[in-house]
Amino acid sequence: MNKKTITCWQPIQWMCFMENSMEKKKINKIAFWPAIIILLCFIAAGIVWTEQVGAIMTKLLYGMANFFGAYINILSLVFIILAVVFLIGRYGDVVIGGKEAKPEYSMPSWCAMSICSGIGTGLLFWAMGEPIFHYMTTPAAIAAAGSRRAGIFAVSQAMWDWSFVQYCMYAICGAAFAIICFNRKRSLSFASLIECATGKSNKHLNMLITAVVIFCLMGATSNSMGVGLMQIGAGLEAAFGIPQSSVTWLIAAVGITIVFVLSCVSGIGKGLKYISTACMYFFIFLLVYVFICGNTEFITKITSESIGFMIDNFGTMTTMMNAMAPKDKWFADWIVQYWSSFIVYAPVIGLFLARMGKGRTVRTFMLVQILVPSIFCVLWIGVFGGQTIFLQTSGTLNIWKAVNTSGMQATVFQILGTLPGSKLIILMFLITVTLSFCTLADPMASVAATLSVDGMNADDEAPRTQKILVGCILGGTAYTLVATGGINSVRGMFTLVGLLQSVALILCAMVLFKYAKRCYRLPNCGCLEKSEAEMTKEEREAEEVEVKKNEWMSIR
């Protein structure tokens, strides 16, 4: 074999070695399997005792909203403030991965993945569903239901619920994981987060938190995917007259699970990138089509007023409760549940988003993760929510009656049916829902697989077998919840766990400020050649001297 042949063969050998070494990564069985078993037991209870579990969950949800709702609301507002502080502060200049690091994704691909990975199928339906609920069941503190002010509030609140609050949480968590993984060479795990926040390593605590996070992530994602299956079933019935049934849901679940598992296995730079890009084309087409073919004048007016209302009242819209109106349960049904679910997702989505930050400054990372998806959601809800309010107020379609008689999933397709070329639009909407389903399931399966494997770095992909296992569990659980009718009884559980998950959220904020400040004072943005955990005592002391020296120089 000549020298040239050897040179060509070496990269292939290296790639094979890396793949084999990744496949041999040790599965954290103590954290993964107990979490999965408890999850399946809880779901089984929800299926067998649907009404009883549902009643208990509803009671617990309202109890949590009454006693801890203020904590959830204020925490959400604080994270918006923290994000603004970071965007305008000097620590935003820290380059993730060091000054020599190069971005791995182009800006358009990055923006597409940022939008799609955090939206899922929810925005597609609730952009039309949520405004009509707010319009007809307006909270007492805002306006009378069905009034002009209620209509503007309805669209504005939906915009706020789906935009800045969640993405500020995601951005802070993502930046925290990015800095400790790329700059300090820590593993991509909650164990690293806890150790960086407390300065101590506690194996049992790390195992417990990882198991809780896997339980929350898998449960919440399965539930969201179950809702997505119901939406796809309603779409097939509207577009092709195929009645909703267990067989329809099973075929949809198997097909979509195969697609998102293949996407997940191929890695973030291939599968998710391509699906997200395709999904964005459908998003943009539907957005433009509804804006032009809907009542454009009404849409532009209510979108403009709703944005203004949001700017004027974002504090109230984040922290609204039912003081002096105890019978008003609006806050418990909407914002407390929204913020709690975002808290559940934030640390794990941040763990996923961190991998896109390499080569960007923390400020750029946070700007993209907050502004790009938030602006998109505001525009999407302005168009689709505005058209929904128009149909209701003009008498073209009694949407509220349809919601109460046919359900939200079917009503969405009735709304689309009022547009020109409705059959084609419903078909394209259904394709978009399917793609969005995959862009939600792919990163969640990837993160769950990553959490269940020890020693993962930010550049590593979890073993394929673990991704396939997690994907199959997610798909199978989602189908079971829908087919047995247990989906409504168990969904409250994962909102309740948001109360516990808020600890991880706070730890992310602490770690981000602590390590961004440290990296700002060090050469090359504090980027190390080896893991911070492997530094000797002398190296740590020398670095501490460097930090204090540069801090003193900046003060002078």
How many structural domains are present in the chain? 2
Rounded Cα distance between 272 and 287, Å, is: 22
Residues 387-445: pLDDT tens digits?
999 999 999 999 999 999 988 888 999 999 999 999 899 999 999 988 888 888 888 88
CA nearest to 362, candidates 90, 137, 143: 90
The DSSP 8-state label assigned to residue 27 in this structure reads: B
Do 57 and 178 fall into the same domain?
A: yes
CATH number at residue 115: 1.20.1740
Residue 14 has pLDDT above 50, yes or no: no
The string of DSSP letters for 342-365 reads: HHHHHHHHHHHHGGG-TTSBHHHH
Reported as a pLDDT band with limits 50, 70 and 90, residue 210 is: confident
* Alpha-carbon torsion (445, 82, 138, 413), positive or negative: negative
Do 411 and 542 fall into the same domain?
A: no
Return the pLDDT at 35.
85
Is 308 a member of any domain?
yes
Residue 155 has pLDDT above 90, yes or no: yes
User: Each residue of 211-229: b (16+ CB within 10 Å) or e?
Assistant: bbbbbbbbbbbbbbbbbbb
Return the pLDDT at 5.
38
Return the pLDDT at 488.
62
Residue 378 has pLDDT above 90, yes or no: yes
Rounded mean pLDDT, 281-305: 96
Return the pLDDT at 490.
62
Angle between helices 273-293 and 362-394 (to 10 degrees): 40
Instruction: Measure Cα distances from 281 to 239, 255, 293, 438 in Å.
Output: 21, 22, 18, 15
Is 26 a member of any domain?
no
Return the pLDDT at 19.
40
Is 20 a member of any domain?
no
- Domain range for residue 411? 33-524
Do 74 and 210 fall into the same domain?
A: yes
Is 24 a member of any domain?
no
Do 543 and 409 fall into the same domain?
A: no
Rounded Cα distance between 353 and 362, Å, is: 12
Do 543 and 449 fall into the same domain?
A: no
Is 60 a member of any domain?
yes
Do 185 and 169 fall into the same domain?
A: yes
Do 518 and 535 fall into the same domain?
A: no
Return the pLDDT at 486.
61
Return the pLDDT at 120.
66
Rounded mean pLDDT, 359-364: 94
Percent of the chain exceeding pLDDT 70 equals 91
Reported as a pLDDT band with limits 50, 70 and 90, residue 206 is: confident
Reported as a pLDDT band with limits 50, 70 and 90, residue 2 is: very low
Do 424 and 551 fall into the same domain?
A: no
58 alpha carbon, distance to own chain's centre: 24
Do 121 and 71 fall into the same domain?
A: yes
Is 22 a member of any domain?
no
Residue 294 has pLDDT above 70, yes or no: yes
Residues 469-488: pLDDT tens digits?
888 888 888 888 787 766 66
Percent of the chain exceeding pLDDT 90 equals 41
Residues 327-338: pLDDT tens digits?
888 998 899 989
The string of DSSP letters for 27-91 reads: B-HHHHHHHHHHHHHHHHHHHHTHHHHHHHHHHHHHHHHHHHHHHHHHHHHHHHHHHHHHHHSGG
Is 403 a member of any domain?
yes
Q: Output Rg (C-alpha) for the chain, integer angstroms.
A: 24
**Contact indicator for 261, 344 with CB cutoff of 8 Å:** no
Do 442 and 537 fall into the same domain?
A: no
60 alpha carbon, distance to own chain's centre: 24
Rounded Cα distance between 108 and 283, Å, is: 14
Return the pLDDT at 128.
94
Rounded Cα distance between 181 and 93, Å, is: 17
Residues 106-139: pLDDT tens digits?
888 888 888 887 776 788 889 999 999 999 999 9
Do 467 and 550 fall into the same domain?
A: no
Rounded Cα distance between 428 and 422, Å, is: 10
Rounded Cα distance between 297 and 295, Å, is: 6
Do 195 and 294 fall into the same domain?
A: yes
Question: What mean pLDDT is reported for the chain?
Answer: 86
In the three-class reduction of DSSP (H, G, I as helix; E, B as strand; rest coil), residue 315 is classed as helix
Residues 235-290: pLDDT tens digits?
888 778 888 888 888 898 898 889 888 888 887 667 777 888 888 999 999 999 99
Question: Which residue is it, tokens 């009378």?
Answer: 144
The DSSP 8-state label assigned to residue 526 in this structure reads: G
Rounded Cα distance between 173 and 187, Å, is: 15
Q: Which are the contacts of 412, defined by CB distance < 8 A and separation ≥ 6?
A: 124, 125, 128, 129, 231, 234
The pTM score is 0.88
Is 14 a member of any domain?
no
The DSSP 8-state label assigned to residue 287 in this structure reads: H
Question: Which residue is it, tokens 């269940």?
Answer: 452
